[in-house]
Amino acid sequence: MVQINPSILSADFARLADEAKAVEGADWLHVDVMDNHFVPNLTLGLPVVEALRKATGTPLDCHLMIEDPDRWAPGYAEAGAGSVTFHAEAATAPVRLARELRRLGARAGLALRPATPVEPYEDLLPELDMLLIMTVEPGFGGQRFLDVTLPKIRRARRLLERHGLSLWLQVDGGVSDETIERCAEAGADVFVAGSAVYGADDPAAAVRRLREAAERVAGRAGAGETPR
Ligand code: DX5
Ligand code: ZN
């Protein structure tokens, strides 16, 4: 199933509750947590996530671009995030952490930077609910989509199929009207979009357009016309 998750990184931080409402047709609200260590940018943390959870009925998809997620990620599950994604490059004990997140009632996600291969994580996949393949270097919104990540999305989709796993496959970075079809063709089913949604005059309409484009491709793939 296609899901569209607007990233509030491109929203107006002084009006987050209104910005969440502006995309109420979205499946999840993507919340980018950056600590200025794992990535060279600083955004928001637990207090803002707690406040957002109270301000919107849309579930929160927290993407933690932080060092030491083993220590900090469970707090986001406790704060009520429906999904908590940590980076493979930063986690010390990813299996233990994924189990802890699930125990706290959140979906557990593992994120890979563009240059991090998926194959070393093959045996961990059953511990996860989502795999996030970054399609830009994490740290900033509004960057250009990296086509070099497409083969990895295809390989990840094949791994999931081979193991009969129902994990969601998320892409994040540079996803727009122009690039979403390529991602969907490669096998992604959860699409994060920041500037393409909040940079649009009508964010809700942008979400609908992205969904239609991804669903068109997914429909074709379902009919067996688009080989992955
Ligand atoms: C980048 C963040 C993304 C970002 C995407 O490091 O993880 O979620 O908000 O923004 P766009 O869609 O503008 O590339
Ligand atoms: Zn993100």
Give yes or no for residue 40 CB within 6 A of ligand 1.
no
- Sketch the domain layout of the chain as residue ranges: 3-222
> Residue 192 C-alpha to ligand 2 middle, in angstroms?
7
Give yes or no for residue 6 CB within 6 A of ligand 1.
no
Fold exhibited by the domain 3-222: TIM Barrel (3.20.20)
* Distance, CA of 33 to CA of 37 (rounded, Å): 11
Ligand that comes closest to the CA of residue 34 = 1
Residues annotated as catalytic (active site), given as ranges: 32, 172
Query: What atom of ligand 1 comes closest to residue 139's alpha carbon?
Result: 6
Alpha-carbon torsion (118, 122, 124, 128), positive or negative: positive
pLDDT exceeds 70 at position 223: no
User: Which strand (E) or helix (H) includes residue 64?
Assistant: strand 60-65
**143-168: average pLDDT:** 98
Query: What atom of ligand 1 comes closest to residue 41's alpha carbon?
Result: 6
3-state secondary structure of 4: strand
> Residue 139 C-alpha to ligand 2 middle, in angstroms?
8
Nearest CA to ligand 1 atom 6: 138
Alpha-carbon torsion (61, 111, 228, 150), positive or negative: positive
Edge-first strand listing for the sheet containing 60-65: 3-6, 190-193, 168-172, 130-134, 107-112, 83-87, 60-65, 29-34
Give yes or no for residue 138 CB within 6 A of ligand 1.
yes
Per cent of the chain over pLDDT 70 is: 97
Residue 166, both tokens: 């129902």
Mean of the per-residue pLDDT values for the chain? 96
Ligand that comes closest to the CA of residue 136 = 1
Alpha-carbon torsion (108, 109, 110, 111), positive or negative: negative
> Residue 225 C-alpha to ligand 2 middle, in angstroms?
31
Three-state DSSP string of 74-142: HHHHHCCCCEEEEECCCCCCHHHHHHHHHHCCCEEEEEECCCCCCHHHHHHHHHCCEEEEECCCCCCCC
End-to-end CA distance of the chain: 16
Nearest CA to ligand 1 atom 4: 141
Half-sphere exposure (Cβ direction) of 221: Cα atoms closer than 13 Å: 20
> Taking the model in full, what pTM does it have?
0.97
pLDDT at 221: 79
Residue 94, both tokens: 């990813």
Query: What atom of ligand 1 comes closest to residue 143's alpha carbon?
Result: 14
Nearest to 98 by CA among 133, 58, 62, 70: 70
Question: pLDDT tens digits for 116-148?
Answer: 999 999 999 999 999 999 999 999 999 999 999
Neighbouring-strand partners of residue 5 = 192
Give yes or no for residue 87 CB within 6 A of ligand 1.
no
